[in-house]
Amino acid sequence: MNEHSYIRSIHRKLPDDIYKWKINDNYQAGVADAYYSGIGGDLWVEYKYVKALPARGDTTVKTTLSAQQKIWLRARHEEGRNVAVVVGSPDGHLLQTAPGEWEVEVTCDNFIRTAIEKEEIVSYIVCTTTR
């Protein structure tokens, strides 16, 4: 699986009444990968997919969140927008909803300890956009 197919696997699980937009903008650096909206609000999500977690527990999980992405996400968050970073892997999924979470490195042990199921990612999107 890659990032594109990971995003598609989440979009397939979302109800039809949630608007989904997979963004591909080559002119605006840092913009999130997806935008969702529903009757209860909207949400910007930056997705990352890690094909394999590091073997050692104290090794940092490389999510490759760029400096521009961090700046863009933080700016939207400071505007009061709902923003999240979702890191998927075959061993679980990480949901980060604040700059203090996505701007720090995560070790393999911390990833595994805080990982959730994909259905919880879907539920978060649904709850945030439909309330």
- In angstroms, rounded to a whole number, what is the distance separating the alpha carbons of residues 78 and 23? 21
The pLDDT, as a whole number, for residue 78 is 97
The pLDDT, as a whole number, for residue 131 is 79
The pLDDT, as a whole number, for residue 110 is 96
Residue ranges for the chain with pLDDT beneath 70: none
The pLDDT, as a whole number, for residue 84 is 98
Domain ranges of the chain: 3-130
What predicted TM-score, i.e. pTM, was given to this entire model? 0.95
- Determine which helix (DSSP H) or strand (DSSP E) holds 111, and give its type and residue range: helix 108-114
128 close to 34: Cβ distance less than 8 angstroms: no
Architecture of domain 3-130: 3-Layer(aba) Sandwich (3.40)
The pLDDT, as a whole number, for residue 123 is 98
The pLDDT, as a whole number, for residue 21 is 97
